[in-house]
Structure 1
């Protein structure tokens, strides 16, 4: 499975103008130690959804840690999880870590947080499940999160935010918002306050944002 993951990532980056080469488990840009990326697939022993962990090392002290569920067994599930990474995080990661920005695939704007200016690379909210239902992202979905970012005590480093919203049905939901891999209460409150579309069947929305100190 490691070969499948590495080949997928090499091709994905190559399609966007970045050449990566393998160094044991990691993929690196030639001549550079950072950033480095790897993927690890975990098959569910009970036949449920497997999990793909993506690690992106920014420097000797900081690593972006993301996980994606994969529907299917073996290679099928792993490819499904890799496709989720490509749809959701990839273009944000490409911009923030490899400095290659595709303006058609993400939003770019300036934000102020903790008295510092940041360039925000904002991915789309990606939908999983409930594919037959029309899905419009509420206008305040992103603005509520930006308001929380503005009050966050951020340092002058790279920061990243992952948002997950799951509609369980019967008015119930799941919300998880991470800032730099850790649960973020203010972000959770912001996302939970939004009037997300309600459906009888399960669906989830996921979003990834990177913040880089502005020059």
Structure 2
């Protein structure tokens, strides 16, 4: 069985399904929403059962809850179910509205509510086991149709020979965004921590869509691998592991020289040739000379989107935070294409020269 940490993305998908719409959806609607987006039935079943149970424990922590479920085939130990463990962990970070939306679906919540109406006190309640009408489906050996971005990221780092020890930490989290029916929209936040970084964590986010969660998460992961993975590996985690996947240039800064380790330009929303964003990057680097930079590794990312030559999205991040001066530079740059839709993304690390 996969560890509970590898079901964190599945839990996010389940939460989105349970919280969709202005009114709570029925179990049938949730089931169709999950399985229709490629969630395997055994995992969809566990999300439907375990998420409300986990959120009830978060909403009403003073009650003594059972550690097992009763099924026709015998008892199920909740501690042995990694989907329940992942749901319980995620519930601790949930907001009030989300907690109430999900917990109120639980049969355990109904039993507690009935006991309170009968005069019982929360601190005195010892809840009996919930009983399922049928046995849980056998859990599959894989991810159940919702790949773990964290597991994929760690595997990419291992493939590049990056040692994952106490010095280097890495993770990835899925954020589910609303999407039209029949479409899954995933944002994956890839994060890495290393002592050489100017900030404790460097985070790069990529979005992907598809008819299934496997497709959507896969697209976001491939975008990350193409645009940001190699600068992170080559400039920070294991120099020399991917030299042909990045461009390097020396950069003179008042605080000392840096090497710019640049990933490839990613062009979106068009099949037409898009001019290089190198001139815009040069202007950003010129403007950056006015900013104090520590002798640590800094992340620089730009993302702009235009429609018919008009700027629609303008993001320039320095060490994860919006950089207003940089956004002013990109706001005054020409559109890559005079018409149609086009977006450009660049990511680089600034590594102190020794």
Bigger Rg over Cα: 2
What is the Cα-based RMSD across aligned positions, in Å?
2.3
Structure 1 counterpart of 2:171? 38
* Kept after mapping to 2: 8 A contact 1:171/1:198: no
Give every structure 1 segment of 4 or more consecutive aligned residues whose post-TM-superposition deviation is greater than 6 Å. Answer: none
Structure 1 counterpart of 2:250? 110
Cα offset for 1:153?
A: 1.2
Structure 1 counterpart of 2:185? 49
User: What SS class does the counterpart of residue 244 from structure 2 fall into?
Assistant: coil
- Structural mapping, 1:1-215, within 5 Å: 4=147, 5-18=149-162, 29=164, 32-47=165-180, 49-59=185-195, 62-72=200-210, 73-101=212-240, 102-131=242-271, 133-169=272-308, 171-215=310-354
Deviation digits for residues 130-166 of structure 1 (CA, Å, limit 9, x no counterpart): 02x1212155122112212222211122211111011
The structure with the largest strand share of the pair is: 1
* Kept after mapping to 2: 8 A contact 1:37/1:55: yes
With the length of structure 1 as denominator, give the TM-score of the two structures: 0.83
* Kept after mapping to 2: 8 A contact 1:43/1:74: no
User: What SS class does the counterpart of residue 100 from structure 1 fall into?
Assistant: coil
Cα offset for 1:45?
A: 4.5
* Kept after mapping to 2: 8 A contact 1:36/1:56: yes
Deviation digits for residues 23-66 of structure 1 (CA, Å, limit 9, x no counterpart): xxxxxx2xx21221111112224446221111111249610112
* Kept after mapping to 2: 8 A contact 1:168/1:174: no
Q: Specify every segment of 5 or more residues in structure 1 that has no aligned partner in the other structure, as ranges.
A: 20-28
* Kept after mapping to 1: 8 A contact 2:174/2:187: yes
Structure 1 counterpart of 2:55? none
Q: Specify every segment of 5 or more residues in structure 2 that has no aligned partner in the other structure, as ranges.
A: 1-6, 10-142
The separation in 1 between residues aligned to 2:254 and 2:333, in whole angstroms, is 24
The separation in 1 between residues aligned to 2:155 and 2:175, in whole angstroms, is 22
The separation in 1 between residues aligned to 2:284 and 2:325, in whole angstroms, is 9
| Structure with more relative contact order (C-alpha pairs < 8 Å, separation 6 or more) | 1
The structure with the largest helix share of the pair is: 2
Change (3 A) 1:176 1:70: same
The separation in 2 between residues aligned to 1:56 and 1:115, in whole angstroms, is 25
Change (3 A) 1:36 1:135: same
Deviation digits for residues 155-207 of structure 1 (CA, Å, limit 9, x no counterpart): 12221111101112352332110101111122112222322322543221111
* Kept after mapping to 2: 8 A contact 1:126/1:206: yes
